[in-house]
A and B are shown apart, each in its own frame.
Chain A
């Protein structure tokens, strides 16, 4: 399948079945990933700066595993701690955004395959999305 270059992209051929062209999907996918990672990195950086200013002088303890406190293990816990402006919780929120980025990418792919009426790939993508959501349901509470 020929891929249009930048100049052809200005006047795309009518996409099949009213879906997006392959190139449009690729551009949107790329943008989605880029924005997700940039946003997550910015939030991690902001939370990190706050954490280092407040706790930079303390000593780290990563030699023995104790596990994170309950509030940093679930979405609602993290959001509560973010509301209290806790630096570590803001970093964790950034990490949640990072984890959500590929999930959003799969959700977007599902929409693209739906618009293409590609039934096999609608099923395949739904399976992956469902699996991701089931795995993330563990931190939903």
Chain B
């Protein structure tokens, strides 16, 4: 295979990942590493490096639109970025000392958890009473709904902070956005409304990934020839997905993507356990 053909195929695969990620709301980043390692036989370290920069591109692109719509809670985002960036640096450090087989197994487990978490119903946990710490940090805000602005009260800040540190560590370790863990922290622990937690989580991904990207770049994990088709492909797919999304949202497509994630998770664990990665 020539570099030209290879680049086209990688761009096509990344485009599909970005498109499906945007259409299903699950994010395409999580399937990039399995696509590159299992599909193209690329070394795990190059795959994580390319995925990390692709994650920065899609999250920043999407955040640009979300933040202007008024859903993103910038204060919650800034506060939790302290947790995710510290976690990301820890994760990037660990990625250099842990074997790629172990990383592949952790990656597989994260994929399985993501599939499980996104196939469960996601109940809204809005709480009517303010929390003293959240109030002191001025985290409470409101978000636009069809019936006008609705206020919400942020809960359990320390628990959310601890979970976000874990999310940041996974992000730095595996080059992903860790959306599923962030949803756990922000929906369930901190009781943020969906739209707010989804957009605020997305808002933080770029900063979290940037914290570990420096480490990856200096270790020589970020290859421009590979990152180019991945970044452009995922970005193109995500942009198209966001445009179609306003017209259609398919439950069947989501189920399909969850099944794909499950299968990739199982295969990552198998490849890690047998030492193929």
Interfacial residues, chain A to chain B (CB-CB below 8 A) = 1-3, 23, 25-27, 29-31, 33-34, 36-37, 40-41, 44-45, 47-48, 51-52, 55-60, 62-65, 67-69, 72-74, 88-89, 91-92, 95-96, 98-103, 105-106, 109, 113, 118, 120-121, 124-125, 127-128, 131-132, 135-139
Contact = CB atoms under 8 A, between A and B. Distances in A.
Contacts of A72: 220, 222, 224
B220 A99 contact: no
**Which 4 A-B pairs rank lowest in CB-CB distance, beginning with the nearest?**
A67-B220, A56-B4, A91-B224, A102-B206
Candidate in A40, A57, A95, A98 with the most chain B CB atoms within 10 angstroms? A95
Interface of B: 1-4, 6-7, 40-46, 53, 56-57, 60-61, 63-65, 67-68, 70, 72, 74-75, 78-79, 81-82, 85-86, 89, 92, 137-138, 141-142, 144, 149, 206-207, 209-215, 217-229, 231-232, 235
A74 B56 contact: no
15 contacts: A26-B74, A57-B2, A62-B46, A63-B41, A74-B218, A101-B60, A102-B210, A106-B207, A118-B138, A121-B75, A121-B78, A125-B78, A131-B86, A131-B211, A139-B218
A65 B144 contact: no
Contacts of B79: 124
B2 A58 contact: yes
Given A33-B67, A37-B235, A121-B75, A135 B214 contact: yes
Main secondary structure of the interface of A (DSSP, over half): helix
Given A33-B67, A60-B3, A73 B228 contact: no
Nearest to A141: B218
A30 B217 contact: no
Given A37-B235, A101-B206, A63 B43 contact: yes
A2 B149 CA distance: 7
A67 B216 CA distance: 10
A68 B149 contact: no
Given A56-B7, A73-B218, A121-B138, 18 more contacts: A1-B142, A1-B149, A34-B64, A41-B231, A55-B225, A57-B4, A60-B3, A62-B46, A63-B43, A65-B44, A99-B213, A103-B210, A125-B78, A128-B85, A128-B207, A131-B86, A135-B85, A138-B214
Contacts of A137: 214
A89 B214 CA distance: 16
Contacts of B45: 65
A137 B72 CA distance: 30
A67 B43 CA distance: 10
A128 B81 contact: yes
Contact of A101 (B56, B149, B231): B56
B6 A60 contact: yes
Given A41-B235, A131-B86, A67 B7 contact: no
B218 A132 contact: no
B207 A102 contact: yes
A139 B207 contact: no
A132 B207 contact: yes
Nearest to B100: A65
Contact of B63 (A23, A33, A132): A33
Contacts of A91: 224-225, 227-228
B144 A3 contact: yes
A128 B149 CA distance: 30
B70 A3 contact: yes
A133 B179 CA distance: 25
Given A3-B70, A135-B214, A36 B60 contact: yes
B86 to A, nearest CB: 7
Contacts of A2: 142, 149
Given A41-B235, A73-B217, A138-B218, A68 B223 contact: yes
A103 to B, nearest CB: 6
